[in-house]
Structure 1
Amino acid sequence: MTPVLHPPVQPAPRRANVRFLIAHPAHLLALGFGSGLSPKAPGTVGTLWGWLSFVLLQPHLSHSQWALLIASGLLIGGWACTVTARHLAVADPGAIVWDEIVAFWIVLWLVTPATFWGQFCAFVLFRFFDAAKPGPVAWADALFKGRRGQPIGWAQGFGILFDDLVAALCTLFVIALWRFV
């Protein structure tokens, strides 16, 4: 008799909700303190939360403190995104918005000082690159995607952040072109 090979059993995907949000500190961070629970456009809501938190924190933090906060946010965020994706049993859940938050912090930090309208243009550009995923952003998005049924590891957790970092770089590139051309 020929042995039957079965694919590894994966847990059924879970749905992010308030109970899930408060079940683990990683969930709270990865879901953007609840902004990722938005039923419509959680990435946009998460980016708006990132913008608001930047505006509130910016007057109180120096450039070096922002650099430390962003670096810490990337490291701790990589852990939080990995843990949360594993617990949701989805490689890149839409409810995870920490990637948008920290990537948009980078954009705002590097374009400061900027007027409200300058920040708004940065927001629109960032959301375009993150949502439409043109060229390099699509490449970055696909780079760390695991195969279907493959366990979610640190590479996929980093991949959740990576495409948003590339979207931030594309946003900064367009802003630099606009300023210097």
Structure 2
Amino acid sequence: MADIKPTFSWLKKRPLCLLGFGFGSGLAPVAPGTFGTLPALPMAFVLHLIGVDGWWLAALCALLFVWGIRICNHTERALGIQDYGGIVWDEIVAMLLILAFVPFYWGWWLAAFVLFRLLDALKPWPIKWFDARVHGGFGIMLDDLIAALFALLILNIAAWLI
């Protein structure tokens, strides 16, 4: 299959790809991962307001992770490009997981966002190791899950020190 330059019109015809591209946020011409992480913030806010937070949100993230393997596999195949930067479902799920365990306060959410984006972009060990060796939908989802777990560890250490 030939490589495809996705557009919002292309995504609207492919619902799984629309999800893979974070409802279109992954189409951002620069920093698609950063823009693709943004939908997690209002999603987590609404979920928090209706009582889905903490371990309930983490359980939802587990389901979204499993579903994300299929979404990312499908989107990657539809594009004909491995681990395309605009596939951001993984960023959304990872950010939701982080927000499940940080205080419901804008400062913590901002710190979580910045730290996660930094870890996801820089890919320190072992994130980079997994990113290079595990491919397909599972690989796309896995490196962001590991970045989220690292972010949670760092944020919990920061909370303990404060």
- The TM-score with structure 2 as length reference comes to 0.92
**Alignment match, 1:168:** 148
Larger radius of gyration: 1
Deviation digits for residues 121-162 of structure 1 (CA, Å, limit 9, x no counterpart): 1111000000111111111211213xxxxxxxxxx1110010
- The TM-score with structure 1 as length reference comes to 0.83
Instruction: Give the root-mean-square deviation of aligned CA atoms.
Output: 1.4
Q: State the shift of 1:85 in Å.
A: 0.2
Structure 2 stretches lacking a partner, 5+ long:
none
Matches within 5 A, 1:26-41: 26-41=16-31
* Count of residue pairs the alignment pairs up: 160
Q: State the shift of 1:65 in Å.
A: 4.1
**Alignment match, 2:132:** 142
Q: State the shift of 1:179 in Å.
A: 1.7
Deviation digits for residues 92-143 of structure 1 (CA, Å, limit 9, x no counterpart): 01110000000000000011x2320111011110000001111111112112
Distance 1:33 1:106, change over 3 A: same
**Alignment match, 1:102:** 93
**Alignment match, 1:18:** 8
Identical-residue share of aligned pairs (%):
41
From 80, 87, 92, the equivalent of 2:78 is: 87
Moved more, 135-144 or 118-127: 135-144
**Alignment match, 2:158:** 178
Structure 1 stretches lacking a partner, 5+ long:
1-10, 146-155
What is the identity, as a one-letter code, of the residue corresponding to 2:150? Answer: C
Q: In structure 1, the residue corresponding to 2:57 is in which secondary structure?
A: helix
